[in-house]
Amino acid sequence: MKIVIEIDGKPIAATLDDTTMGREFAAMLPLTLTLTDYGNMEKVAELPRKLAPRDAPRGADPDIGDIAYYPAWGKVRIFYKDLGYLDGLVKLGSIDASIAPLQVPGPLRVVIKRLEPAR
């Protein structure tokens, strides 16, 4: 599923994986979140409710631009640096464009919504 992450009204295209948790996250959209820096490698935000880690792998090794969920924290995570494998991390999708808008210091207010197909 194609989604868009808007930062200051500027869209960043992304794709959610066709997985149980990817679909569960998509069902929550649209979302307005404040992403904050964590570990100088990612932006994180708490979701309004936790996702159930059904059928999820034991962990993941996220790439730069990956969108993931960490059930232990109940937070969505968007990586702008390499982390390495993390037990419990579930990949939800990835950003399809430049991640530069996410690499600014400090909190970012974003709107994440489904990308409506052109008619």
In whole angstroms, give the CA distance from residue 18 to residue 110.
23
Q: Strand locations in the chain, DSSP E?
A: 2-7, 10-16, 31-38, 42-46, 59-60, 66-70, 75-79, 86-87, 90-95, 108-114
| 23 in any annotated domain | yes
Which domain covers residue 43, as residue numbers?
Answer: 2-114
Query: Per residue in 12-33, pLDDT tens?
Result: 999 999 999 999 999 999 999 9
| 102 in any annotated domain | yes
| 37 in any annotated domain | yes
Give the position of tokens 């974003």: 110
DSSP 3-state percent helix, strand, coil across the chain (nearest 5): 10, 45, 45
CATH number, domain of 89, equals 2.40.100.20
| 119 in any annotated domain | no
Query: Per residue in 25-60, pLDDT tens?
Result: 999 999 999 999 999 999 999 999 999 877 778 899
Residue 116 has what pLDDT? 72
Residue 119 has what pLDDT? 54
Phi-psi region of 14 (alpha: psi -120 to 50; beta: other; left: phi over 0): beta
- Residues 93-118, mean pLDDT to the nearest whole number: 90
* Cα dihedral across residues 34, 103, 10, 119: positive or negative: negative
User: What is the count of structural domains for the chain?
Assistant: 1
The 3-state DSSP class for residue 23 equals helix
Stated pTM of the model: 0.93
Q: What is the mean pLDDT of the chain?
A: 92
In whole angstroms, give the CA distance from residue 28 to residue 38.
23
